[in-house]
Amino acid sequence: MPSIKNAEFVKSSANLSGCPEDIRPEYAFIGRSNVGKSSLINMLTGRNKLAKISSRPGKTQLINHFLVDGKWYLVDLPGYGWAKVSKADKERWKIMIHEYLLRRRNLLNVFLLVDSRHEPQKNDLNFMMWMGQHQIPFSLIFTKIDKLGGTKLQKNLASYREALRKDWEELPPYFEVSNVKKIGGDEIIDYINRINQTVKA
Ligand code: GTP
Ligand code: MG
């Protein structure tokens, strides 16, 4: 059973040069505002208040580094796609996130979170395309599965995969989580541990 023994907040950074030294494996969480990125970090680390969460979108504004067991980083990023954000803020987000994702050398995988209740959204699909074009390795995490019954969930996931097949020959690995019911965390930690092992080898 995989588990995280210790997790600590390291720092919040407004740009790449503010991030901690790039000497440890790193995993980032991204996706639309309110999808549950910060909540997932809390579930994975077993620390309810490690990352700040809110029912209002736009809570996370900076690049937040958390050190896990003294060995690797989890990174909480601000969300995109929130209608009330000004053009200037959207542009700031894009510059910050693109710089981070394109140039962070120790970033081993990006987890893109999508809400399991919704149809595939254009900005999520575009964001995947962008990561694909830049050869940034990513996986998908379907969140808030507690809000759907099993049949509806499977139907939504199937239609999501169907939409992805239009753009992708090979589908990315995907996970299903509920941060509320604490489901799906072990699989993600397992996946991260396996990648960490390949770096050590
Ligand atoms: P930003 O920082 O604004 O980009 O949002 P975020 O993606 O970090 O979302 P956050 O973790 O702050 O959660 C947003 C809201 O969704 C909060 O009210 C959470 O309690 C709720 N939430 C998160 N995960 C789940 C889940 O698995 N199930 C349910 N039912 N609610 C969730
Ligand atoms: Mg957040």
pLDDT at residue number 162: 94
Residue whose tokens read 């990513």: 138
pLDDT digits (tens, 9 = 90+) for 24-35: 999 999 999 999
What value, to the nearest 5°, has the Cα angle with vertex 192 and ends 190 and 193? 65
CB 176 within 8 A of CB 184: yes
Rama region for 128: left / alpha / beta (φ>0; ψ in -120 to 50; rest):
alpha
Residue whose tokens read 């939409």: 163
Query: What is the token pair recorded at 65?
Result: 């580094």
| Smallest CA separation from ligand 1 atom 20, residue | 55
Output the average pLDDT for the chain: 94
State how far the Cα of 189 lies from the Cα of 164, in Å rounded to an integer: 25
| Rounded alpha-carbon distances, angstroms, from residue 147 to 22, 89, 136, 177, 179 | 37, 31, 30, 11, 11
> Above pLDDT 70, what percent of the chain?
99
Q: Whole-model pTM?
A: 0.96
Residue 1: pLDDT above 60?
no
Instruction: Kindly list the protein residues that place their beta carbon closer than 5 angstroms to ligand 2, a single-atom ion.
Output: 37-38, 59-60
pLDDT at residue number 201: 62
Nearest atom (ligand 1) to Cα of 113:
7
pLDDT digits (tens, 9 = 90+) for 57-104: 888 889 999 999 999 999 999 999 888 888 998 899 999 999 999 999
Q: State the average pLDDT over residues 145-167.
A: 93
| Smallest CA separation from ligand 1 atom 2, residue | 60
State how far the Cα of 51 lies from the Cα of 60, in Å rounded to an integer: 9
Q: Which of 75, 61, 79, 60 is nearest to 29 (CA)?
A: 75
CB 145 within 8 A of CB 114: no
Ligand 1 center from residue 23 Cα (angstroms): 30
What are the CB-based long-range contacts (under 8 Å, 24+) for 193-201?
A: 193/2, 195/25, 195/27, 195/108, 195/109, 196/25, 196/71, 196/72, 199/25, 199/108
Query: What is the token pair recorded at 158?
Result: 């199937």
pLDDT digits (tens, 9 = 90+) for 101-154: 999 999 999 999 999 999 999 999 999 999 999 999 999 999 999 999 889 999
State how far the Cα of 199 lies from the Cα of 136, in Å rounded to an integer: 16
State how far the Cα of 53 lies from the Cα of 125, in Å rounded to an integer: 25
What value, to the nearest 5°, has the Cα angle with vertex 97 and ends 94 and 102? 115
